[in-house]
Chain A
Amino acid sequence: MPATDIDFERDFAEVVARLRDVPAAAPESLRARVHALGEPEAPPTLRDRVAIVPWRRAVLVTVPVCLAALLSVAAVRGLLSSRPERNVTASAVSGASTTPEKAPPFFAPVPAWDSATTEHGALSSGVGGSGRPAHVDASMRVRVPDLDTLTDRTREAMQIARSLGGYVASVQQSTSAGKPGEADLLLKVPVGHVDTALMRLSALGTVLDQNLSVVDLKQTLDQQRSRIRSLRLQIARLQQALRDPALTADVRLRLQFQLDAARQTLSRLTGSNKATLRQAALSDLSLALTTERAAGAATKDHQGRTERAVRDAARFLAAAGAVALFVLIAVSPLLLIGAAWLYGSRAYRRREERRLLAATPE
Protein backbone atom coordinates (compact mmCIF):
# COMPACT_ATOMS: atom_id res chain seq x y z
CA MET A 1 0.00 0.00 0.00
CA PRO A 2 1.42 3.41 -0.91
CA ALA A 3 2.27 5.85 1.86
CA THR A 4 -0.35 8.23 0.56
CA ASP A 5 -3.09 5.64 0.77
CA ILE A 6 -5.21 4.89 3.81
CA ASP A 7 -6.19 1.53 5.16
CA PHE A 8 -9.88 2.27 5.11
CA GLU A 9 -10.77 -1.40 5.46
CA ARG A 10 -9.30 -1.28 8.99
CA ASP A 11 -9.88 2.34 9.99
CA PHE A 12 -13.49 2.46 8.87
CA ALA A 13 -14.40 -1.20 9.03
CA GLU A 14 -17.97 -0.67 10.15
CA VAL A 15 -18.80 1.97 7.58
CA VAL A 16 -17.20 -0.04 4.81
CA ALA A 17 -19.17 -3.13 5.80
CA ARG A 18 -22.41 -1.15 5.82
CA LEU A 19 -21.65 0.35 2.46
CA ARG A 20 -20.91 -2.99 0.89
CA ASP A 21 -24.13 -4.42 2.22
CA VAL A 22 -26.17 -1.91 0.29
CA PRO A 23 -28.10 -3.75 -2.42
CA ALA A 24 -27.28 -1.89 -5.60
CA ALA A 25 -27.89 -4.34 -8.39
CA ALA A 26 -28.97 -2.73 -11.62
CA PRO A 27 -32.68 -3.05 -12.30
CA GLU A 28 -33.80 -5.53 -14.93
CA SER A 29 -35.04 -2.81 -17.24
CA LEU A 30 -31.57 -1.28 -17.34
CA ARG A 31 -29.98 -4.69 -17.84
CA ALA A 32 -32.26 -5.35 -20.78
CA ARG A 33 -31.47 -1.93 -22.24
CA VAL A 34 -27.75 -2.61 -22.10
CA HIS A 35 -28.12 -6.14 -23.45
CA ALA A 36 -30.05 -4.77 -26.38
CA LEU A 37 -26.95 -2.89 -27.50
CA GLY A 38 -25.37 -6.14 -28.66
CA GLU A 39 -21.88 -6.12 -30.09
CA PRO A 40 -20.24 -3.36 -32.13
CA GLU A 41 -19.86 -4.56 -35.70
CA ALA A 42 -18.35 -1.68 -37.62
CA PRO A 43 -14.65 -2.19 -38.28
CA PRO A 44 -12.28 0.27 -36.62
CA THR A 45 -11.66 3.39 -38.64
CA LEU A 46 -8.33 5.11 -39.11
CA ARG A 47 -9.38 7.63 -36.50
CA ASP A 48 -10.00 4.81 -34.04
CA ARG A 49 -6.59 3.33 -34.78
CA VAL A 50 -4.86 6.65 -34.32
CA ALA A 51 -6.87 7.50 -31.23
CA ILE A 52 -5.86 4.25 -29.58
CA VAL A 53 -2.17 5.20 -29.63
CA PRO A 54 -1.29 7.06 -26.43
CA TRP A 55 0.24 10.38 -27.36
CA ARG A 56 3.08 9.97 -24.90
CA ARG A 57 4.01 6.68 -26.50
CA ALA A 58 3.65 8.18 -29.95
CA VAL A 59 6.01 10.99 -28.99
CA LEU A 60 8.43 8.52 -27.42
CA VAL A 61 8.53 6.58 -30.69
CA THR A 62 8.25 9.41 -33.19
CA VAL A 63 10.95 11.66 -31.78
CA PRO A 64 13.72 9.01 -31.71
CA VAL A 65 12.66 7.78 -35.15
CA CYS A 66 12.86 11.30 -36.57
CA LEU A 67 16.22 11.87 -34.91
CA ALA A 68 17.54 8.55 -36.20
CA ALA A 69 16.31 9.35 -39.70
CA LEU A 70 17.94 12.77 -39.55
CA LEU A 71 21.23 11.28 -38.36
CA SER A 72 21.07 8.62 -41.06
CA VAL A 73 20.48 11.20 -43.76
CA ALA A 74 23.34 13.28 -42.39
CA ALA A 75 25.63 10.24 -42.33
CA VAL A 76 24.73 9.21 -45.87
CA ARG A 77 25.16 12.75 -47.06
CA GLY A 78 28.52 12.99 -45.32
CA LEU A 79 29.71 9.72 -46.82
CA LEU A 80 28.54 10.62 -50.31
CA SER A 81 30.11 14.04 -50.27
CA SER A 82 33.37 12.74 -48.83
CA ARG A 83 34.22 10.58 -51.81
CA PRO A 84 37.72 11.35 -53.06
CA GLU A 85 37.77 14.33 -55.38
CA ARG A 86 40.35 14.69 -58.07
CA ASN A 87 41.54 18.23 -58.37
CA VAL A 88 42.80 17.42 -61.77
CA THR A 89 41.26 18.77 -64.91
CA ALA A 90 41.87 17.76 -68.40
CA SER A 91 40.68 19.40 -71.53
CA ALA A 92 40.85 18.27 -75.06
CA VAL A 93 40.81 20.50 -78.06
CA SER A 94 40.03 19.66 -81.59
CA GLY A 95 39.34 22.74 -83.56
CA ALA A 96 37.25 24.72 -81.12
CA SER A 97 35.88 22.00 -78.93
CA THR A 98 37.07 21.91 -75.34
CA THR A 99 35.61 19.78 -72.61
CA PRO A 100 36.82 19.66 -69.05
CA GLU A 101 36.71 16.48 -67.02
CA LYS A 102 37.71 15.56 -63.51
CA ALA A 103 39.72 12.43 -64.15
CA PRO A 104 42.80 12.58 -66.28
CA PRO A 105 41.52 11.03 -69.48
CA PHE A 106 44.71 10.11 -71.18
CA PHE A 107 45.54 7.31 -68.80
CA ALA A 108 42.47 5.32 -69.76
CA PRO A 109 42.66 2.27 -72.00
CA VAL A 110 43.29 3.07 -75.61
CA PRO A 111 40.23 2.99 -77.87
CA ALA A 112 40.30 3.25 -81.62
CA TRP A 113 40.58 6.83 -82.82
CA ASP A 114 38.41 6.77 -85.82
CA SER A 115 37.22 10.28 -86.18
CA ALA A 116 38.62 13.73 -86.32
CA THR A 117 35.80 14.83 -84.12
CA THR A 118 37.29 14.86 -80.69
CA GLU A 119 34.43 13.93 -78.52
CA HIS A 120 35.87 13.97 -75.09
CA GLY A 121 35.62 10.25 -74.54
CA ALA A 122 37.01 9.37 -77.94
CA LEU A 123 39.92 11.67 -77.44
CA SER A 124 40.56 10.58 -73.97
CA SER A 125 43.29 8.16 -74.67
CA GLY A 126 45.52 6.70 -77.23
CA VAL A 127 46.99 10.05 -78.03
CA GLY A 128 49.44 9.43 -80.77
CA GLY A 129 48.76 5.75 -80.67
CA SER A 130 46.02 5.51 -83.27
CA GLY A 131 48.08 6.25 -86.35
CA ARG A 132 45.98 9.28 -87.16
CA PRO A 133 48.14 12.39 -87.35
CA ALA A 134 47.45 14.90 -84.63
CA HIS A 135 49.23 17.57 -82.68
CA VAL A 136 49.26 16.99 -78.96
CA ASP A 137 49.81 19.80 -76.53
CA ALA A 138 49.78 18.91 -72.85
CA SER A 139 50.51 20.90 -69.76
CA MET A 140 50.83 19.70 -66.23
CA ARG A 141 51.41 21.36 -62.87
CA VAL A 142 52.98 19.12 -60.27
CA ARG A 143 53.67 19.91 -56.65
CA VAL A 144 56.84 18.62 -55.01
CA PRO A 145 57.64 18.76 -51.31
CA ASP A 146 60.71 21.02 -51.20
CA LEU A 147 63.43 22.77 -53.17
CA ASP A 148 65.85 19.84 -53.12
CA THR A 149 63.21 17.59 -54.52
CA LEU A 150 62.36 20.24 -57.09
CA THR A 151 65.85 20.05 -58.56
CA ASP A 152 65.81 16.26 -58.58
CA ARG A 153 62.39 16.11 -60.19
CA THR A 154 63.40 18.63 -62.84
CA ARG A 155 66.31 16.45 -63.73
CA GLU A 156 64.09 13.37 -63.77
CA ALA A 157 61.60 15.08 -66.08
CA MET A 158 64.33 15.88 -68.55
CA GLN A 159 65.52 12.27 -68.42
CA ILE A 160 62.01 11.03 -69.04
CA ALA A 161 61.70 13.14 -72.19
CA ARG A 162 65.04 11.93 -73.50
CA SER A 163 64.40 8.31 -72.65
CA LEU A 164 61.23 8.39 -74.70
CA GLY A 165 63.01 9.70 -77.76
CA GLY A 166 62.21 13.33 -77.21
CA TYR A 167 64.17 16.32 -76.07
CA VAL A 168 63.99 19.28 -73.74
CA ALA A 169 63.06 22.42 -75.63
CA SER A 170 63.47 24.72 -72.64
CA VAL A 171 64.00 24.67 -68.88
CA GLN A 172 63.59 27.50 -66.45
CA GLN A 173 64.03 26.96 -62.73
CA SER A 174 63.76 29.59 -60.01
CA THR A 175 64.48 28.94 -56.37
CA SER A 176 64.43 32.31 -54.60
CA ALA A 177 64.70 32.27 -50.82
CA GLY A 178 61.39 32.72 -49.07
CA LYS A 179 59.40 32.03 -52.22
CA PRO A 180 58.11 28.78 -53.53
CA GLY A 181 60.41 27.10 -56.02
CA GLU A 182 59.26 26.84 -59.62
CA ALA A 183 60.58 24.92 -62.61
CA ASP A 184 59.05 25.29 -66.06
CA LEU A 185 59.99 22.76 -68.68
CA LEU A 186 58.93 22.46 -72.31
CA LEU A 187 59.43 18.91 -73.42
CA LYS A 188 59.13 17.51 -76.91
CA VAL A 189 58.07 13.90 -76.83
CA PRO A 190 57.08 11.63 -79.73
CA VAL A 191 53.33 11.49 -79.97
CA GLY A 192 53.38 7.73 -79.59
CA HIS A 193 54.88 8.11 -76.12
CA VAL A 194 52.68 10.88 -74.79
CA ASP A 195 50.68 8.58 -72.56
CA THR A 196 53.81 7.09 -71.08
CA ALA A 197 55.40 10.50 -70.66
CA LEU A 198 52.38 11.95 -68.90
CA MET A 199 52.11 8.94 -66.66
CA ARG A 200 55.73 9.13 -65.64
CA LEU A 201 55.67 12.90 -65.21
CA SER A 202 52.59 12.74 -63.04
CA ALA A 203 54.46 10.39 -60.75
CA LEU A 204 56.98 13.10 -59.96
CA GLY A 205 54.70 14.60 -57.33
CA THR A 206 51.13 15.60 -56.63
CA VAL A 207 49.36 16.62 -59.78
CA LEU A 208 47.63 19.93 -59.18
CA ASP A 209 46.42 20.58 -62.66
CA GLN A 210 46.75 19.10 -66.08
CA ASN A 211 45.56 19.98 -69.52
CA LEU A 212 45.62 18.15 -72.78
CA SER A 213 44.74 19.44 -76.18
CA VAL A 214 44.77 17.42 -79.35
CA VAL A 215 44.41 18.99 -82.78
CA ASP A 216 43.65 16.60 -85.57
CA LEU A 217 46.00 17.18 -88.54
CA LYS A 218 44.76 14.57 -90.99
CA GLN A 219 42.54 16.93 -92.89
CA THR A 220 45.31 19.52 -93.11
CA LEU A 221 47.79 16.94 -94.34
CA ASP A 222 45.32 15.55 -96.86
CA GLN A 223 44.69 19.02 -98.25
CA GLN A 224 48.40 19.71 -98.42
CA ARG A 225 49.10 16.42 -100.19
CA SER A 226 46.29 16.95 -102.64
CA ARG A 227 47.55 20.44 -103.42
CA ILE A 228 51.11 19.12 -103.85
CA ARG A 229 49.91 16.44 -106.27
CA SER A 230 48.01 18.93 -108.39
CA LEU A 231 50.98 21.30 -108.40
CA ARG A 232 53.31 18.53 -109.52
CA LEU A 233 50.87 17.64 -112.27
CA GLN A 234 50.67 21.27 -113.29
CA ILE A 235 54.47 21.53 -113.35
CA ALA A 236 54.74 18.40 -115.47
CA ARG A 237 52.22 19.77 -117.94
CA LEU A 238 53.97 23.11 -118.09
CA GLN A 239 57.32 21.37 -118.69
CA GLN A 240 55.72 19.30 -121.43
CA ALA A 241 54.30 22.38 -123.06
CA LEU A 242 57.61 24.21 -122.94
CA ARG A 243 59.29 21.41 -124.90
CA ASP A 244 57.18 22.30 -127.91
CA PRO A 245 59.50 24.16 -130.42
CA ALA A 246 56.61 25.83 -132.15
CA LEU A 247 55.80 28.03 -129.17
CA THR A 248 55.97 31.73 -129.73
CA ALA A 249 58.25 33.78 -127.52
CA ASP A 250 55.56 35.49 -125.52
CA VAL A 251 53.67 32.22 -124.89
CA ARG A 252 56.88 30.49 -123.84
CA LEU A 253 57.64 33.36 -121.49
CA ARG A 254 54.17 33.19 -119.93
CA LEU A 255 54.43 29.42 -119.45
CA GLN A 256 57.85 29.83 -117.93
CA PHE A 257 56.47 32.33 -115.42
CA GLN A 258 53.66 29.91 -114.55
CA LEU A 259 56.15 27.11 -114.10
CA ASP A 260 58.28 29.20 -111.76
CA ALA A 261 55.26 30.22 -109.71
CA ALA A 262 54.10 26.62 -109.47
CA ARG A 263 57.52 25.47 -108.36
CA GLN A 264 57.63 28.17 -105.67
CA THR A 265 54.22 27.24 -104.43
CA LEU A 266 55.17 23.58 -104.42
CA SER A 267 58.29 24.35 -102.46
CA ARG A 268 56.37 26.37 -99.88
CA LEU A 269 53.65 23.77 -99.62
CA THR A 270 56.17 20.97 -99.24
CA GLY A 271 57.74 22.91 -96.39
CA SER A 272 54.40 23.37 -94.72
CA ASN A 273 53.69 19.70 -95.13
CA LYS A 274 56.96 18.79 -93.50
CA ALA A 275 56.24 21.18 -90.65
CA THR A 276 52.80 19.62 -90.18
CA LEU A 277 54.32 16.18 -90.13
CA ARG A 278 56.80 17.36 -87.52
CA GLN A 279 53.94 18.69 -85.47
CA ALA A 280 52.23 15.34 -85.72
CA ALA A 281 55.40 13.54 -84.76
CA LEU A 282 56.29 15.43 -81.61
CA SER A 283 54.04 16.55 -78.82
CA ASP A 284 54.59 19.60 -76.65
CA LEU A 285 54.54 18.86 -72.96
CA SER A 286 54.69 21.85 -70.63
CA LEU A 287 55.59 20.79 -67.17
CA ALA A 288 55.52 23.13 -64.21
CA LEU A 289 57.03 21.85 -61.01
CA THR A 290 56.34 23.84 -57.89
CA THR A 291 56.85 23.65 -54.17
CA GLU A 292 53.86 25.89 -53.57
CA ARG A 293 51.11 24.25 -51.60
CA ALA A 294 47.82 24.74 -53.38
CA ALA A 295 45.48 25.68 -50.56
CA GLY A 296 42.50 23.62 -51.63
CA ALA A 297 44.51 20.69 -52.82
CA ALA A 298 46.75 20.61 -49.81
CA THR A 299 43.81 20.74 -47.47
CA LYS A 300 42.02 18.01 -49.27
CA ASP A 301 45.08 15.86 -49.53
CA HIS A 302 45.55 15.91 -45.81
CA GLN A 303 41.95 15.58 -44.85
CA GLY A 304 40.84 12.09 -44.20
CA ARG A 305 37.66 10.88 -45.72
CA THR A 306 36.20 10.27 -42.31
CA GLU A 307 36.98 13.80 -41.26
CA ARG A 308 35.27 15.20 -44.32
CA ALA A 309 32.29 12.91 -43.81
CA VAL A 310 31.92 14.03 -40.22
CA ARG A 311 32.30 17.66 -41.21
CA ASP A 312 29.68 17.40 -43.96
CA ALA A 313 27.31 15.48 -41.72
CA ALA A 314 27.75 18.07 -38.99
CA ARG A 315 27.14 20.83 -41.51
CA PHE A 316 23.94 19.10 -42.61
CA LEU A 317 22.80 18.66 -39.03
CA ALA A 318 23.57 22.28 -38.31
CA ALA A 319 21.50 23.31 -41.31
CA ALA A 320 18.66 21.05 -40.20
CA GLY A 321 18.94 22.47 -36.70
CA ALA A 322 18.82 25.99 -38.08
CA VAL A 323 15.67 25.17 -40.05
CA ALA A 324 14.11 23.54 -37.00
CA LEU A 325 15.01 26.56 -34.87
CA PHE A 326 13.55 28.91 -37.44
CA VAL A 327 10.33 26.89 -37.60
CA LEU A 328 10.21 26.80 -33.81
CA ILE A 329 10.65 30.55 -33.58
CA ALA A 330 8.03 31.07 -36.26
CA VAL A 331 5.43 28.83 -34.66
CA SER A 332 6.32 29.46 -31.02
CA PRO A 333 3.63 32.15 -30.59
CA LEU A 334 1.05 29.71 -31.87
CA LEU A 335 2.42 26.99 -29.63
CA LEU A 336 2.27 29.30 -26.63
CA ILE A 337 -1.28 30.30 -27.43
CA GLY A 338 -2.21 26.66 -27.91
CA ALA A 339 -0.56 25.62 -24.66
CA ALA A 340 -2.22 28.47 -22.78
CA TRP A 341 -5.59 27.57 -24.25
CA LEU A 342 -5.09 23.91 -23.38
CA TYR A 343 -3.99 24.69 -19.85
CA GLY A 344 -6.76 27.22 -19.37
CA SER A 345 -9.50 24.97 -20.67
CA ARG A 346 -8.26 22.12 -18.53
CA ALA A 347 -8.12 24.32 -15.44
CA TYR A 348 -11.59 25.65 -16.19
CA ARG A 349 -12.93 22.13 -16.66
CA ARG A 350 -11.38 20.99 -13.37
CA ARG A 351 -12.79 23.99 -11.55
CA GLU A 352 -16.20 23.33 -13.02
CA GLU A 353 -16.02 19.68 -12.00
CA ARG A 354 -15.05 20.63 -8.48
CA ARG A 355 -17.88 23.12 -8.28
CA LEU A 356 -20.42 20.66 -9.60
CA LEU A 357 -19.33 17.87 -7.29
CA ALA A 358 -18.57 19.90 -4.20
CA ALA A 359 -22.12 20.97 -3.49
CA THR A 360 -23.26 19.52 -0.21
CA PRO A 361 -26.92 18.81 0.05
CA GLU A 362 -28.80 20.97 2.49
Chain B
Amino acid sequence: MKAVNAVTTSWPRLAVERPAFAAVAEAELDAVHRYLLFLTGDRAVAEDLTGETFEKAFRAWRRFDPRRGSARTWLCQIARTVALDHFRSEERRRRREERFSHGRADVDDGPAVPGELGEALAGLSPAEREVVALRVLLELDGPTAARVLGISRTACSTRLSRALKRLEELMRDARD
Protein backbone atom coordinates (compact mmCIF):
# COMPACT_ATOMS: atom_id res chain seq x y z
CA MET B 1 0.00 0.00 0.00
CA LYS B 2 1.35 3.38 -0.91
CA ALA B 3 0.97 5.92 1.86
CA VAL B 4 0.28 9.38 0.52
CA ASN B 5 0.67 12.53 2.48
CA ALA B 6 -2.17 14.99 1.97
CA VAL B 7 0.10 18.01 2.08
CA THR B 8 -0.49 20.03 -1.04
CA THR B 9 -0.09 23.66 -1.92
CA SER B 10 -3.19 25.72 -2.57
CA TRP B 11 -2.06 26.90 -6.01
CA PRO B 12 -3.24 24.16 -8.35
CA ARG B 13 -0.19 24.36 -10.59
CA LEU B 14 2.03 23.91 -7.57
CA ALA B 15 0.02 21.10 -6.08
CA VAL B 16 2.43 18.42 -4.96
CA GLU B 17 1.45 14.96 -3.91
CA ARG B 18 4.16 13.64 -1.67
CA PRO B 19 4.49 10.20 -0.21
CA ALA B 20 4.45 9.96 3.55
CA PHE B 21 7.77 10.85 5.11
CA ALA B 22 7.74 7.80 7.37
CA ALA B 23 7.26 5.51 4.38
CA VAL B 24 10.10 7.15 2.48
CA ALA B 25 12.35 7.00 5.54
CA GLU B 26 11.63 3.31 5.97
CA ALA B 27 12.32 2.59 2.31
CA GLU B 28 15.46 4.69 1.95
CA LEU B 29 17.11 4.36 5.35
CA ASP B 30 19.37 1.49 4.38
CA ALA B 31 20.38 3.13 1.10
CA VAL B 32 21.28 6.42 2.74
CA HIS B 33 23.14 4.65 5.50
CA ARG B 34 25.08 2.58 3.01
CA TYR B 35 25.97 5.67 1.00
CA LEU B 36 27.23 7.50 4.05
CA LEU B 37 29.06 4.39 5.22
CA PHE B 38 30.98 4.26 1.98
CA LEU B 39 31.51 8.01 1.89
CA THR B 40 32.85 8.35 5.43
CA GLY B 41 34.31 4.89 5.84
CA ASP B 42 33.26 4.92 9.46
CA ARG B 43 30.26 3.08 10.89
CA ALA B 44 29.70 5.36 13.86
CA VAL B 45 30.02 8.52 11.80
CA ALA B 46 27.78 7.07 9.09
CA GLU B 47 25.14 6.27 11.67
CA ASP B 48 25.25 9.77 13.13
CA LEU B 49 25.15 11.42 9.75
CA THR B 50 22.30 9.23 8.60
CA GLY B 51 20.24 10.29 11.59
CA GLU B 52 21.15 13.90 10.95
CA THR B 53 20.24 13.52 7.29
CA PHE B 54 16.76 12.28 8.07
CA GLU B 55 16.22 14.98 10.67
CA LYS B 56 17.15 17.56 8.10
CA ALA B 57 14.93 15.90 5.52
CA PHE B 58 12.08 15.85 8.04
CA ARG B 59 12.37 19.63 8.49
CA ALA B 60 12.60 20.27 4.76
CA TRP B 61 10.02 17.69 3.72
CA ARG B 62 7.49 20.34 2.64
CA ARG B 63 9.99 21.49 0.04
CA PHE B 64 10.49 18.07 -1.47
CA ASP B 65 9.05 17.95 -4.98
CA PRO B 66 8.79 14.39 -6.34
CA ARG B 67 8.48 15.81 -9.86
CA ARG B 68 12.06 17.03 -9.73
CA GLY B 69 13.63 13.76 -8.65
CA SER B 70 13.20 10.66 -6.56
CA ALA B 71 13.21 10.72 -2.79
CA ARG B 72 16.43 8.72 -2.85
CA THR B 73 18.18 11.35 -4.92
CA TRP B 74 16.88 14.13 -2.69
CA LEU B 75 17.98 12.28 0.44
CA CYS B 76 21.40 11.58 -1.05
CA GLN B 77 21.86 15.25 -1.78
CA ILE B 78 21.02 16.10 1.81
CA ALA B 79 23.28 13.31 3.05
CA ARG B 80 26.12 14.61 0.96
CA THR B 81 25.72 18.12 2.32
CA VAL B 82 25.62 16.74 5.86
CA ALA B 83 28.72 14.66 5.20
CA LEU B 84 30.62 17.59 3.71
CA ASP B 85 29.71 19.72 6.71
CA HIS B 86 30.98 16.94 8.88
CA PHE B 87 34.26 16.72 6.96
CA ARG B 88 34.73 20.47 7.26
CA SER B 89 34.11 20.48 10.97
CA GLU B 90 36.40 17.48 11.38
CA GLU B 91 39.08 19.22 9.43
CA ARG B 92 38.79 22.30 11.61
CA ARG B 93 38.91 20.15 14.71
CA ARG B 94 41.95 18.27 13.45
CA ARG B 95 43.65 21.48 12.56
CA ARG B 96 42.98 22.79 16.02
CA GLU B 97 44.18 19.72 17.76
CA GLU B 98 46.95 18.99 15.29
CA ARG B 99 46.62 15.36 15.92
CA PHE B 100 46.10 14.08 12.42
CA SER B 101 47.51 15.02 9.09
CA HIS B 102 44.45 15.92 6.97
CA GLY B 103 41.53 14.85 4.89
CA ARG B 104 40.43 11.67 6.50
CA ALA B 105 37.60 10.85 8.83
CA ASP B 106 38.48 9.10 12.03
CA VAL B 107 38.36 5.38 11.93
CA ASP B 108 38.27 4.40 15.54
CA ASP B 109 36.22 1.25 15.51
CA GLY B 110 37.75 -0.56 12.54
CA PRO B 111 36.94 -0.43 8.84
CA ALA B 112 33.33 0.05 7.74
CA VAL B 113 33.50 -3.05 5.54
CA PRO B 114 35.38 -6.06 6.91
CA GLY B 115 37.84 -8.16 4.95
CA GLU B 116 39.91 -7.47 1.88
CA LEU B 117 37.12 -5.45 0.31
CA GLY B 118 37.15 -3.16 3.31
CA GLU B 119 40.90 -2.72 3.06
CA ALA B 120 40.61 -2.02 -0.63
CA LEU B 121 37.84 0.50 -0.06
CA ALA B 122 39.99 2.22 2.52
CA GLY B 123 42.50 2.78 -0.25
CA LEU B 124 40.04 4.84 -2.25
CA SER B 125 39.37 8.48 -1.71
CA PRO B 126 35.98 9.54 -0.30
CA ALA B 127 35.04 10.91 -3.72
CA GLU B 128 35.72 7.50 -5.29
CA ARG B 129 33.88 5.60 -2.58
CA GLU B 130 31.00 8.04 -2.97
CA VAL B 131 30.54 7.43 -6.65
CA VAL B 132 30.79 3.68 -6.15
CA ALA B 133 28.12 3.84 -3.47
CA LEU B 134 25.76 5.91 -5.58
CA ARG B 135 26.14 3.99 -8.80
CA VAL B 136 26.73 0.42 -7.64
CA LEU B 137 24.99 0.12 -4.30
CA LEU B 138 22.18 2.65 -4.57
CA GLU B 139 21.86 1.97 -8.29
CA LEU B 140 21.29 5.57 -9.27
CA ASP B 141 21.61 6.13 -12.99
CA GLY B 142 24.47 8.18 -14.42
CA PRO B 143 22.69 11.55 -14.79
CA THR B 144 21.15 11.33 -11.31
CA ALA B 145 24.43 10.42 -9.68
CA ALA B 146 26.13 13.24 -11.55
CA ARG B 147 23.47 15.64 -10.27
CA VAL B 148 23.97 14.51 -6.70
CA LEU B 149 27.73 14.90 -7.03
CA GLY B 150 27.46 18.22 -8.82
CA ILE B 151 29.62 17.10 -11.71
CA SER B 152 29.08 16.29 -15.36
CA ARG B 153 27.93 12.85 -16.50
CA THR B 154 31.24 12.26 -18.20
CA ALA B 155 33.16 13.14 -15.06
CA CYS B 156 30.89 10.89 -13.04
CA SER B 157 31.40 8.00 -15.43
CA THR B 158 35.16 8.52 -15.51
CA ARG B 159 35.34 8.70 -11.75
CA LEU B 160 33.34 5.49 -11.37
CA SER B 161 35.46 3.65 -13.89
CA ARG B 162 38.66 4.76 -12.21
CA ALA B 163 37.33 3.91 -8.75
CA LEU B 164 36.25 0.41 -9.73
CA LYS B 165 39.48 -0.23 -11.57
CA ARG B 166 41.49 0.87 -8.58
CA LEU B 167 39.32 -1.16 -6.27
CA GLU B 168 39.90 -4.19 -8.43
CA GLU B 169 43.63 -3.62 -8.33
CA LEU B 170 43.65 -3.10 -4.60
CA MET B 171 41.64 -6.28 -4.07
CA ARG B 172 43.97 -8.18 -6.35
CA ASP B 173 46.96 -6.83 -4.46
CA ALA B 174 45.39 -7.80 -1.17
CA ARG B 175 44.69 -11.29 -2.46
CA ASP B 176 48.24 -11.71 -3.71
Contact pick for B157, options A6, A30, A354, A361, CB 8 Å: A6
Judge whether B47 and A24 touch: CB under 8 Å: no
Interface residues in A103-143 (C-beta closer than 8 Å to B): none
Q: Tell me if A360 counts as interface (CB < 8 A to partner B).
A: yes
8 A-B residue contacts at CB 8 Å?
A24-B33, A25-B33, A34-B50, A52-B14, A52-B65, A354-B127, A359-B104, A359-B126
Q: In the complex the two chains form, what is the Cα distance from A69 to B21 in whole Å?
A: 41
Q: Distance (Å) between the CB of A21 and the closest chain B CB?
A: 9
Interface size, A (range): 35 or more
A residues lining the B interface (CB < 8 Å)? 2, 4-6, 8, 11-12, 14-16, 18-20, 22, 24-27, 29-31, 33-35, 37-40, 42-45, 48-49, 51-54, 350, 352-362
Judge whether A39 and B21 touch: CB under 8 Å: yes
Q: What are the residues of chain B within 8 A of A24 when measuring CB–CB?
A: 30, 33-34, 37, 113, 137
Q: Tell me if B70 counts as interface (CB < 8 A to partner A).
A: no
Judge whether A52 and B127 touch: CB under 8 Å: no
Judge whether A37 and B153 touch: CB under 8 Å: no
Q: Distance (Å) between the CB of A290 and the closest chain B CB?
A: 63
Q: What are the residues of chain B within 8 A of A357 when measuring CB–CB?
A: 84, 87, 125-127, 130
Q: Would you call the interface of chain B mostly helix, strand, loop, or mixed?
A: helix
Contact pick for B137, options A19, A30, A54, A350, CB 8 Å: A19
Q: In the complex the two chains form, what is the Cα distance from A341 to B150 in whole Å?
A: 19
Contact pick for B63, options A5, A25, A52, A353, CB 8 Å: A52
Contact pick for B164, options A12, A30, A45, CB 8 Å: A12
Q: What are the residues of chain B within 8 A of A45 when measuring CB–CB?
A: 62
Judge whether B55 and A2 touch: CB under 8 Å: no
Given A4-B154, A30-B50, A359-B104; A18-B25 close (CB under 8 Å)? no
Judge whether A49 and B11 touch: CB under 8 Å: yes
Closest to A45 in B: B62
Judge whether B33 and A15 touch: CB under 8 Å: no
Q: Tell me if B93 counts as interface (CB < 8 A to partner A).
A: no
Closest to B165 in A: A12
Map CB proximity to A onto B143-167 as digits: 1 under 8 Å, 0 otherwise. 1000000100110010011001101
Q: In the complex the two chains form, what is the Cα distance from A29 to B142 in whole Å?
A: 32
Q: What are the residues of chain A within 8 A of B54 when measuring CB–CB?
A: 33-34, 37
Judge whether B137 and A15 touch: CB under 8 Å: no
Known contacts A12-B168, A26-B50, A34-B51, then 12 further A-B pairs from the complex at CB < 8 Å, ordered by chain A residue: A4-B142, A6-B161, A20-B136, A33-B51, A37-B58, A40-B59, A40-B62, A54-B68, A356-B87, A357-B84, A358-B126, A361-B122
Judge whether B157 and A359 touch: CB under 8 Å: no
Q: In the complex the two chains form, what is the Cα distance from A353 to B77 in whole Å?
A: 13
